């Protein structure tokens, strides 16, 4: 089931023409992933404080289809494609009024306290299994 986050385009998100600057779509989908993890019950700050584990983007494949503009109300969707003990692949999109403006396939991994790859936290694996069974 896709997680949905509504965001507004602010002036700071745009270029001189009032169009969302391309790199800001990556910020939008980052917010979507953070809220997706929160909905799954994973507190990233507590995870870092308690175990030293953090998440990192390993790969992004993005398509810019249509521009978003100043003051648009956007929806960011996040949906699990695959999950292994070491990584999660997500499909994310940014939409305006149901029209897809931007899509990305994002691979995230977990890094341990040393900064090296680590297994995903057990609570996330459990939550992902429950989420994909819904």
The structural domains of the chain, with segments of one domain joined by +, span 3-122
- Cα torsion 45, 120, 4, 61 to 10°: value is 110
Choosing from 13, 15, 63, 71, the catalytic residue is 15
- pLDDT tens, N- to C-terminus, the chain (134 residues): 789 999 999 999 999 999 999 999 999 999 999 999 999 988 999 989 999 999 999 999 999 999 999 999 999 999 999 999 889 999 999 999 999 999 999 999 999 999 999 998 888 888 888 776 65
CB burial readout 60-84, b (16+ within 10 A) else e:
eeeeeeebbebebebbbbbebeebe
Q: What's the fold here for domain 3-122?
A: Thiol Ester Dehydrase; Chain A (3.10.129)
Known catalytic residue at 43: no
Of 56, 53, 1, the closest CA to residue 30 belongs to 56
What is the model's pLDDT at position 33? 97
Rounded to whole angstroms, the Cα distance separating 7 from 28 reads: 8
């Amino acid at each position: 089931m896709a997680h949905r986050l509504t965001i507004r385009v602010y002036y700071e998100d745009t270029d001189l023409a009032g169009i969302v600057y391309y790199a800001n779509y990556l910020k939008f989908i980052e917010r979507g992933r953070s809220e997706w993890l929160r909905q799954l019950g994973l507190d990233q700050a507590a995870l870092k404080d308690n175990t030293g584990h953090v998440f990192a983007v390993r790969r992004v494949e993005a398509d810019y289809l249509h521009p978003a503009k100043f003051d648009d109300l956007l929806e960011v969707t996040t949906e699990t494609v695959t999950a292994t003990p070491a990584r999660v692949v997500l499909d994310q999109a940014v939409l305006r009024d149901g029209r897809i403006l931007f899509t990305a396939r994002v691979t995230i991994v977990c890094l341990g306290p040393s900064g090296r790859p680590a297994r995903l936290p057990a609570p996330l694996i459990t939550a992902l299994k429950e989420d994909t069974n819904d």
